[in-house]
Amino acid sequence: MSDRVFIVTGGCGFIGSNLVAQLLKQFEGSHVVVIDDLRTGSYANLVEACDRTNVGAFTGQLLPESVCDIDWHTLIDTHKPTAVFHLGAITDTTNANEADMLRVNAESFPPMILACAHRAPLVYASSAATYGTPPQTGQRVAFSLEAAGKPNNVYGFSKWLMECHHRRLATQLARDGRSPHIVGLRYFNVFGPGEARKGKMASMAYQLTQQCLAGKRPRLFVDGSQSRDQVYVGDVVDCTIAAAGLQQPAGRAITPGVYNLGSGVATPFSAVADAVREGLTLKSGDREVEYFEMPVNIRAFYQDFTLADMSMTAKGLGWKPSIAPLQAVREYAAWLVPPGGYSNCRN
Ligand SMILES: NC(=O)c1ccc[n+]([C@@H]2O[C@H](COP(=O)([O-])OP(=O)(O)OC[C@H]3O[C@@H](n4cnc5c(N)ncnc54)[C@H](O)[C@@H]3O)[C@@H](O)[C@H]2O)c1
């Protein structure tokens, strides 16, 4: 049994609920305090994640509040957490309310950093959206860390500003001779169980599987060669926990900083669709991919290619991806088949 306490913001969301369940599994008996204003999350994600992970019922706390309204010093004093994981954010990348996005995602962050400094490791979710369309896109090579900073939307900009707060305050705090344990992780395209409530923001693997399960042909932009670094949620959770320094063998230190968190593989959407069809055991000719032209209005900002350079993640965190994305897509698609199968909607 463990007397550890973890604080997880966004713990009712897709990745956050998977993280909560995994913490409860790895640190049996620990107490998890979730802070989530339920903007896009739901209590049901927590219940389902705990069920999937076989950790029994969730018995922690759920504070239904915005991260903007938390008195972080009091919260950290009260709970003395082993680690704080900050995933709570506005995640709809099409949200055009710039003030809202910046207030919630970026400006809520400095008080949290200052309260956690030297008292608890802090791991937070940044995003591949901080890269926008770097030169690496055209060259179709991996995005190294320094290529970020010119995002294409206010969501990516809000995540970039989180990193700027992190760098600035960590430098100030280090002047007393101790670097705070703060790690930012640029998640790439995450997929896996628990994303059903994300609607149009759910992964391509999820959307394509749902189209097939509804008896339709999976739809992709011509010619399906658009490639993203698709990373399985199990790996994302594993790296997020590792970044807090909780799993390291004695003497193996984490180097605080900002890191990429992807699979290290750029997977074309056509390959995702093939893997989905394989996972659903669809025969040749049944629900083949239907290609359509990309609308002109989205062409200008479309991220045609993303790929995480994972070399620094291996060096600084001692962590490497463990699951090949297409293998995970196949298994995920099979897992998404409802009980009783879906034979009625086959062509
Ligand atoms: N899913 C991805 O592919 C991906 C990629 C890059 C980065 N991320 C980041 O990972 C984190 C988790 O994303 P997700 O995919 O699980 O999305 P999600 O929308 O399922 O989860 C976000 C959670 O944050 C909560 N939230 C929103 N505003 C809040 C606020 N003001 N206070 C407290 N909670 C708030 C939501 O209710 C939700 O439960 C986010 O920070 C997101 O930006 C995700």
Residue 298 is predicted with a pLDDT of: 80
Is residue 217 lining ligand 1, measured as CB closer than 6 Å? Answer: no
Q: Is the pLDDT of residue 308 over 60?
A: yes
Distance CA 46, CA 21 (A): 8
Which stretches within the chain are classed as H helix?
14-26, 43-52, 72-79, 98-101, 109-116, 135-139, 154-174, 204-213, 233-243, 269-279, 296-299, 311-317, 325-336
Between the CA of 34 and the centroid of ligand 1 the distance, in Å, is 13
Number of domains in the chain: 1
Domain membership flag for residue 68: yes
Is residue 87 lining ligand 1, measured as CB closer than 6 Å? Answer: yes
Domain membership flag for residue 145: yes
Domain membership flag for residue 118: yes
DSSP structure string for 58-96: --SEEE---GGG--HHHHHHHH--SEEEE--S---TT--
Tell me what the mean pLDDT of segment 31-55 comes to.
98
Mutate to test the pocket of ligand 1, among 33, 87, 123, 126 (most ligand atoms within 8 A of CB): 87
- Domain of residue 149 covers 5-197+231-264+307-322
User: Which atom in ligand 1 lies closest to the alpha carbon of residue 189?
Assistant: 3
Q: Are 20 and 55 in contact (CB under 8 A)?
A: no
| Tens of pLDDT, residues 199-239 | 999 999 999 999 999 999 999 999 999 999 999 999 999 99
Using 50, 70 and 90 to split pLDDT, how confident is the model at 252? low
Domain membership flag for residue 95: yes
Q: What is the CATH number of the domain that holds 30?
A: 3.40.50.720
Tell me what the mean pLDDT of segment 162-186 comes to.
93
Mutate to test the pocket of ligand 1, among 8, 14, 130, 183 (most ligand atoms within 8 A of CB): 14
Q: Is the pLDDT of residue 248 over 70?
A: no
- The question of whether 283 is a catalytic residue gets the answer no
Classify strands 227-232 and 266-268 as parallel, antiparallel or unpaired.
Answer: antiparallel
Name which residue sits closest to atom 23 of ligand 1, judged by CA: 10
Name which residue sits closest to atom 41 of ligand 1, judged by CA: 87
Distance CA 168, CA 164 (A): 6
Q: Are 261 and 189 in contact (CB under 8 A)?
A: no
Mutate to test the pocket of ligand 1, among 9, 12, 15 (most ligand atoms within 8 A of CB): 15
- The question of whether 155 is a catalytic residue gets the answer yes
Other CB atoms within a 10 A radius of the CB of residue 282 amount to 18
Q: Quickly tell me which residue has 């309260």 as its tokens.
A: 115
Contacts of 85 (CB under 8 A, 6+ apart): 6, 7, 8, 9, 16, 19, 123, 124, 240, 244
Domain membership flag for residue 172: yes
User: Which residue, among 79, 14, 7, 71, has the nearest Cα to 41 in the 3D structure?
Assistant: 14
Domain membership flag for residue 37: yes
Domain membership flag for residue 94: yes
Is residue 91 lining ligand 1, measured as CB closer than 6 Å? Answer: yes
Q: Is the pLDDT of residue 99 over 50?
A: yes
Name which residue sits closest to atom 1 of ligand 1, judged by CA: 190
Domain membership flag for residue 282: no
99-104 CB contacts, 8 Å cutoff, 24+ apart: 101/154, 101/155, 101/157, 101/158, 102/154, 102/157, 102/158, 102/161, 103/68, 104/66, 104/67, 104/68, 104/158
